[in-house]
Amino acid sequence: MTGAEARVAALAARGHPNRAIAAGLSVTPRTVELHLTRAYRKLGIHGRPELAEALERLGKDTP
């Protein structure tokens, strides 16, 4: 996972909405969606409900 994907995934796992993540990282909401989609694929998951658990397993629960 790239650094950008990891940062976005960590924030999403904490419950931040895409728009807030985008604003905080100075990117578009679409960029956030793309990073999340790529992170999900790389982690072998399908959505936010699985994200926090997957990141915890990898030890990547912080941005």
At 8-44, the pLDDT tens digits run 999 999 999 999 999 999 999 999 999 999 999 999 9
Better-scored residue on pLDDT, 61 or 50: 50
- Please, what are the domains in the chain? 3-58 (1.10.10.10)
Cα 41 to Cα 63: distance, rounded to the nearest angstrom? 19
Tokens 């990547």 -> residue = 60
Q: What is the pLDDT of residue 3?
A: 95
Residue type, 55: L
| pLDDT computed for residue 60 by the predictor | 59
- Are 57 and 16 in contact by the 8 Å Cβ rule? The answer is no
